[in-house]
A and B are shown apart, each in its own frame.
Chain A
Amino acid sequence: MSTDLLQALPRSPGVWAQAWTRLKNDRVGMVSLGVTLFFIVLVLLAQMGLVAKDWQKEVGTPFAPPHIVGKIVDGSQTAVIDAIAGPSVDMSDVDPLAPRYEEWKKRAAEFKATITQKSDTLPLGGDQLGRDVLSKVIKGAQVSITVGLTAALFATLIGTILGALGGYFGGRIGDFLEWVYNVFTAIPYILLVFALAAVLKSGPLAGTLGSGAWTVVIILSLVGWTGIYRLVRSEYMKHRSREYVRAAEAIGASHASRMFTHILPNISHVVLVQLSLHVVGFIKAEVILSFLGLGVPIDMVSWGTMLSEAQTELVQGKWWQLVAATVFMATFVTAFALLTDALRDALDPKLR
Chain B
Amino acid sequence: MPSGCMQLNSQRHGLPRRFAPRNDLNQEQAMNPLISVQDLHVSFRMSKTDTVEAVRGVSFDIPANSTVALVGESGSGKSVSAMSIVRLLPENAILGQHSKVLYNGRDLLAAPLEDMRRLRGKDISVVFQEPMSSLNPVFTVGEQIAEVLRIHLKLNSKQALDRTLDLMTEVGIPNPKERLKSYPHELSGGQQQRVMIAMAIACEPKLLIADEPTTALDVTVQRQIMDLLAGLQQRQKMSILFISHDLGLVGEISDEVVVMRNGEVREAGSVQRIFSAPTDAYTQALLACRPRLDSRPRRLAVIDDIVNKRPLCTEQRVAAPITGAALIEVKDLGKDYLLKSGLFKRSVFSAVKHADFSLYKGRTLGVVGESGSGKTTIGMMLTRLTEASAGSIMFEGVDLAQLSAAQMRIYRSRIQIIFQNPYASLNPRFTVGQILIEPMRIHGIGKSEDDRARLALELIEKVGLTRDDFGKYPHEFSGGQRQRIAIARCLTMKPEIIVCDESVSALDVSVQATVLNLLLDLQDEFGLTYVFISHDLAVVKYMADEILVMSQGEVVERGSAEEIYARPQHPYTQQLLGAIPRGLAAAV
Contacts and interface: CB of A to CB of B under 8 A. Distances in A.
| B is bound to A | yes
Contacts of A11: 431, 471
A91 to B, nearest CB: 86
Interface size class of chain B, counting residues whose CB lies under 8 Å from the partner chain: 35 or more
A6 B455 CA distance: 12
B188 interface: no
Contact of B453 (A5, A10, A242): A5
A123 B431 CA distance: 55
A244 B471 contact: no
Nearest to A3: B450
A266 interface: yes
B100 interface: no
A21 to B, nearest CB: 12
Interface in A1-41: 1-3, 5-6, 9-12, 14-15, 25
Interface in B439-467: 439, 442-443, 449-450, 453-454, 457, 467
Contacts, number: 86
A9 B468 contact: yes
B427 interface: yes
B375 to A, nearest CB: 16
Given A1-B433, A250-B385, A250-B417, A9 B470 contact: yes
Interface stretch (B113-121, B166-174, B265-273, B408-416): B408-416
A252 interface: yes
A248 B427 CA distance: 9
A309 interface: no
Given A14-B429, A247-B425, A266-B427, A252 B471 contact: no
Interface in A225-276: 242-244, 246-253, 262, 265-266
Interface residues of A, number: 27
Given A5-B454, A247-B419, A12 B429 contact: no
B489 A265 contact: no
Interface string B460-486: 000000011011110010000000001
A250 B438 CA distance: 12
A247 B413 CA distance: 12
A70 interface: no
B193 interface: no
Give the one of A10, A243, A250 with max B CB within 10 A: A250
B421 A243 contact: yes
A210 interface: no
A168 B24 CA distance: 64
A239 to B, nearest CB: 10
A247 B433 contact: no
B192 interface: no
- DSSP majority for the A interface? helix
Given A5-B453, A9-B470, A252 B439 contact: yes
Nearest to B418: A247
A110 to B, nearest CB: 73
Nearest to A350: B46
A349 interface: yes
A242 B416 CA distance: 17
B431 A12 contact: yes
B271 to A, nearest CB: 38
B426 interface: yes
Contact of B449 (A1, A247, A251, A253): A1
B439 A251 contact: yes
Interface string B388-425: 00000000000000000000010011001101110011
B450 A5 contact: yes
A252 B442 contact: yes
B531 to A, nearest CB: 13
Contact of B442 (A3, A247, A253): A253
Given A1-B433, A242-B424, A251-B438, A9 B471 contact: yes
Contacts of B373: none
B482 to A, nearest CB: 11
B438 A253 contact: yes
B383 interface: yes
Nearest to A345: B47
B47 A12 contact: no
B443 A12 contact: no
B329 to A, nearest CB: 21
B425 A244 contact: yes
Contact of B443 (A2, A9, A243, A252): A252
A12 B409 CA distance: 32
B136 to A, nearest CB: 25
Contact of B489 (A5, A242, A251): A251
Most buried by A among B420, B421, B424, B429: B429
B429 A15 contact: yes
B493 interface: yes
A249 B385 contact: yes
A249 B449 CA distance: 22
B449 A246 contact: no
B473 A14 contact: yes
Contacts of A250: 383, 385, 412, 416-417
Contacts of A14: 429, 473
Given A12-B473, A250-B383, A250-B416, A266 B438 contact: no
Contacts of B489: 247, 251
A251 B473 contact: no
Contact of A244 (B427, B468, B473, B493): B427
B428 interface: yes
Contact of B417 (A5, A10, A247, A252): A247
A43 B416 CA distance: 55
A12 B473 CA distance: 7
Contacts of A9: 467-468, 470-471
B426 A6 contact: no
B192 to A, nearest CB: 25
Interface of A: 1-3, 5-6, 9-12, 14-15, 25, 242-244, 246-253, 262, 265-266, 349
A-B complex: 7 closest residue pairs judged by Cβ atoms: A11-B471, A243-B425, A251-B439, A265-B429, A243-B424, A252-B412, A243-B419
Given A247-B425, A251-B413, 5 more contacts: A12-B471, A25-B48, A247-B417, A252-B413, A252-B439
25 contacts: A1-B453, A5-B457, A6-B470, A9-B468, A10-B468, A11-B471, A12-B471, A12-B476, A14-B429, A14-B473, A25-B48, A25-B49, A244-B424, A246-B425, A247-B417, A247-B426, A249-B385, A251-B493, A252-B409, A252-B412, A252-B413, A252-B442, A266-B427, A266-B428, A349-B47
